Amino acid sequence: MYRHPLLAVILLASSSMAAAQYIWLDEHGVKQLSDRPPPPNVPRQRIVKMPSKTVFNPYAEPEVAAKDATQPPSVAERNAAFNQRQRDAAQQASQAADDATRHADQRANCDAARHNQMALDQGLRLSTFDKTGQRAYMSDAEREELRKNAQKVLADCK
């Protein structure tokens, strides 16, 4: 009989929504008919008829979640957050620069220690200048002490 039974069901469902009517008495005792709910100032005893299910109520209280929604931050709060982010970024940049400088110094010290270790291992004669400005050659004990110090420094190098 019906070629499209789903269409028939949809039409029947929508017609029942369209037939939803509110009937209430206003403050003068006049009967009011509407497809929308009565205003909030109408007491419940004066509503004569209302549909079993309300689809949309424009006078209904907003959802609790909407009431609890956080307000957007004020300009002062946004400025404070911006300033805090700037301070954090400057601190991180300063710390990164300090780390880079420390790393470069450590690398230079390690290179110098490797160079000294190579010179000591090759058996070259090393000399220093004494208090009078004269060249003084290192003894084997001094060379061994320098070798131990160079090994300690190289142990810290990666």
The tens digit of pLDDT for each residue in 59-89 reads: 666 665 555 567 888 999 999 999 999 999 9
Residues 101, 118: contact at Cβ < 8 Å? no
Rg (CA), the chain: 45
Tokens standing for residue 105 = 């110094």
The separation between the first and the last C-alpha atoms of the chain, rounded to the nearest angstrom, is 88
Tokens 């004669």 -> residue = 125
Tokens standing for residue 77 = 């709060």
Any idea of the CA torsion for 112, 118, 124, 126, to the nearest 10 degrees?
20
Q: Where are the domains of the chain?
A: 20-50, 75-156
pTM: 0.43
- pLDDT of 12 higher than 70: no
